[in-house]
Amino acid sequence: MKPACLVGSIRSVLKALAFALVLTCAGPAASAAAAPLPDAFLAATFLTNPIPADGSAGSILRVQVLRLSDAAPGDDGATVTLTVDPASVGICAVAGAATAESVVTEGHADFLIISPRLPGLCRAMATAMGAAPAEATLVTKDGGTPTRLTVSGNDSPQNVGGSVTLSVDSDDVYVNLVGGDETTIVTPSLDPASCSGAPGGPVTVAAVNDGIAIDGRAWFVARSIGAYASCRLTFTSPGLLAAVAAVSFAGGAPDHLSCVFIPGSVGPSAVATASVELRDVFDNPVSSFRPYRITFERATGDSTTIVSDDARRMILGAAFFFVQSASSAGRDDYVVSVAATSTESLPVPSAACSIVVRPETP
């Protein structure tokens, strides 16, 4: 054998021994993990997409190692690294962090992506040494399975004659809106006994879209001609926890005066009070800071006499006058009017009230 050939053979033997030594020390898995993946590219797919943003839902992101050639992959044991886009932090996480690794088995590597309670788009990038990377996007939607109703909107108070708009959400156990819910039917009910304030005037509640949720939310409109400080509404749907809301209606713009004697009937030598109030067009009391100046005078009868000032300013929409009865029985009619000197006016500027004086009992 020629010297040059002998040297070449020795070199070949040494290379073989060195490669065998590496395999013996590192083991097959480590060598495969460290080996690049030439002529390969990655394909990433979420097996479940979208998922609810309820804090417990998850989806498997499967990363496949594919070859441009027809050669057998032989890539088991290679390491794939998955990194969550910084903009997606809070929307999704892999292994409780932003980055994780997984070993290829049967040509793919799997990662469990968990969705916290923030909906949005989760973008993740899969990489492996020597292979073309792959990106996948997971949609995390509001809410999971509907378990309860929640009143999310209530623009009370509104003036009488106007409307209160309410929105009721279909929420999951974590009180997240189930944005994809289009089937929940919400029914409103009013407790008339809970309405405080006006002596009368019905409160009506109408459902938009027959109370069927749109994108997880149902809408309602409440109306009243009575000024109520509070009326309780209950919203129900089969299988879900009910929701409760209070609606209120304030008096409208001042329209006219009201006048009533307390008491309305007295005996001789008694004092009665005439209570005067501002009222709206629906006859609800109106509290106002406007300086209405009003006058109070007897129109008919002679059984009573005014024992207070016959003109005064209203305070917060109210004023009081006092009369005293004489010994003669009869009925006296009084008129209260917005004074000509008042800086404020009303559409209906006057009102009347009456008091009866009973005969003296022998």
User: Do 271 and 302 sit in the same domain of this protein?
Assistant: yes
- Is a pLDDT exceeding 60 seen at residue 17? no
- Is a pLDDT exceeding 80 seen at residue 362? no
Domain that holds residue 166: 148-250
User: Do 63 and 122 sit in the same domain of this protein?
Assistant: yes
Domain end (from 250, 283, 304)? 250
Tell me whether residue 166 is in a domain: yes
Domain end (from 78, 107, 142)? 142
Q: Take residue 255 and report the two structure tokens written for it.
A: 């329209």
- Is a pLDDT exceeding 90 seen at residue 7? no
Q: What is the CATH number of the domain that holds 177?
A: 2.60.40.10
Domain end (from 83, 108, 142)? 142
How many whole angstroms from its chain centre is CA 226? 27
> With contact defined as beta carbons under 8 Å apart, do 176 and 53 qualify?
yes
pLDDT given for residue 71 in this prediction: 52
- Mean pLDDT calculated for residue range 5-19: 38
pLDDT given for residue 34 in this prediction: 42
pLDDT given for residue 306 in this prediction: 94
User: Do 158 and 206 sit in the same domain of this protein?
Assistant: yes
Tell me whether residue 154 is in a domain: yes
User: Do 205 and 224 sit in the same domain of this protein?
Assistant: yes
Give the number of domains in the chain.
3
> pLDDT above 90 covers what percent of the chain?
53
Residue 179 CB contacts under 8 Å (≥ 6 apart), including other chains: 119, 141, 142, 143, 215, 216
pLDDT given for residue 8 in this prediction: 43
User: Do 54 and 73 sit in the same domain of this protein?
Assistant: yes
User: Do 136 and 202 sit in the same domain of this protein?
Assistant: no
List, for residues 57-91, the tens digit of each pLDDT value.
889 999 998 887 655 555 788 899 999 999 998 88
Tell me whether residue 24 is in a domain: no
> With contact defined as beta carbons under 8 Å apart, do 225 and 279 qualify?
no
pLDDT given for residue 200 in this prediction: 58
> With contact defined as beta carbons under 8 Å apart, do 61 and 110 qualify?
yes
User: Do 118 and 174 sit in the same domain of this protein?
Assistant: no
Average pLDDT, the chain: 84
Tell me whether residue 164 is in a domain: yes
